[in-house]
Amino acid sequence: MDAEKTELPSTDEEWRECLTEDEYRILREAGTEPRFSGEYVDHKEDGTYTCAGCGAVLFDSETKFGSGTGWPSFYDAKEGAVEFHEDRSAGMVRTEVVCANCGGHLGHVFDDGPEPTGKRYCINSVSLNFEGED
């Protein structure tokens, strides 16, 4: 979705029209991409990661680290950019991370990340777009 768009889709049909099939499955249906399949797993450029659903800035490349899990991992999110929900799917209790702007599913957060936060935001590449520094 275009980061310049100011009005978010209001219906499921509108979301389906503006997202790819994979983006819809992950952002709107809380899907998960296969491990090591996403374009940002080993991405190391400087810049910002934005929500693929609405363009909101979510993560800075300075907070990205190699977790070895198969998904892009960050130790912190931009202030106010994400919200958390209890996720009891897949027979476990986890903390889901969603975009605070559009509610799109991004991934999950765990307490096994590096300092300074000790957090590991485990995020689907499909949920993200990247804007490099000029």
Catalytic residues: 122
Q: How far apart are CA 89 and CA 112, in angstroms?
A: 20
37 torsion bin: left (phi>0), alpha (psi -120 to 50), beta (else): alpha
DSSP 28: I
Cβ 34 vs Cβ 26: under 8 Å: no
Nearest to 112, CA basis, from 80, 67, 60, 70: 67
